[in-house]
Amino acid sequence: MPHRLALPIETRYLNADERLRDPAHVLESLLRDGGAPGQSEQGKHGRCLASVARLVAWADEQRGGLDLDPEEFARPEFAGGEHAVFLDRDTGRLVKITKPGMLGAQAEDAGAYLERWALANRVFGDDVRFEGVVRMPGEDEPRVVISQSFVEGRDATMEEQADYLRSRGFVEYDGRWVHPVLAVAVWDTLTPGNVIVQPDGAMWAVDLQIEPARSEELRAVQGRRVFSFQ
What's the pLDDT tens digit per position in 183-194?
Answer: 999 999 888 889
Has residue 228 been placed in a domain? no
Residue 1 lies in a domain: no
Is residue 120, in this structure, part of any structural domain at all?
yes
| Residue 54 shares a structural domain with residue 140 | yes
Do the domain assignments include residue 230?
no
- Within 10 angstroms of residue 131's Cβ, the number of other Cβ atoms is 23
3-class secondary-structure state, position 157: coil
Q: At 171, is the secondary structure helix, strand, or coil?
A: strand
* Average pLDDT value for residue range 162-179: 96
Tell me whether residue 65 is in a domain.
yes
Does any domain span residue 226? no
pLDDT band at 102 (very low <50, low <70, confident <90, very high): very high
Same domain, 170 and 125: no
Residue count of the chain, please give it.
230
Taking the C-alpha atoms of residue 71 and residue 175, their distance in angstroms, rounded to an integer, is 41
DSSP state of 109: B
**Domain identity same for 195 and 174:** yes
Cβ neighbors of 137 (< 8 A, separation 6 or more) are: 70
Nearest-angstrom CA–CA distance, 177 and 198: 22
Task: Specify whether 128 is located in the same domain as 41.
Answer: yes
Q: Are residues 130 and 201 in the same domain?
A: no
159 and 113 share one domain? no
pLDDT tops 80 at residue 210: yes
143 and 161 together in one domain? no
Q: What is the predicted pLDDT for the residue at 59?
A: 86
Give the torsion sign (CA, 128, 121, 47, 28): negative
Looking at the structure of the chain, the number of domains it has is 2
84 & 105 share domain: yes
What integer pLDDT is reported at residue 226 of this predicted model?
54
- The 3-class SS string of 216-228 reads HHHHHHCCCCCCC
Q: Identify the top-confidence range among 14-23, 44-53, 72-81, 166-175.
A: 166-175
Tell me, yes or no, whether 227 lies in a domain: no
Last residue of a domain, one of 115, 149, 183: 149
> Final residue of a domain: which of 149, 172, 187?
149
- Which of 149, 174, 207 is the last residue in one of the domains? 149
- The answer to whether the beta carbons of residues 217 and 183 sit under 8 Å apart is no
pTM of the model: 0.83
Give domain status of residue 229, yes or no. no
Report in angstroms the alpha-carbon separations of 197 from 1, 127, 193. Answer: 12, 17, 9
Q: Which domain holds residue 170?
A: 154-221
Among 76-80, 116-120, 175-179, 200-204, which is the least confidently predicted range? 76-80
Identify whether residues 53 and 85 lie together within a single domain.
yes
By DSSP bridging, strand 129-134 and strand 67-68 are parallel
Q: Give exposure, 47-71, as e/b (b: 16+ Cβ within 10 Å).
A: ebbbbbebbbebbeeeeeebebeee
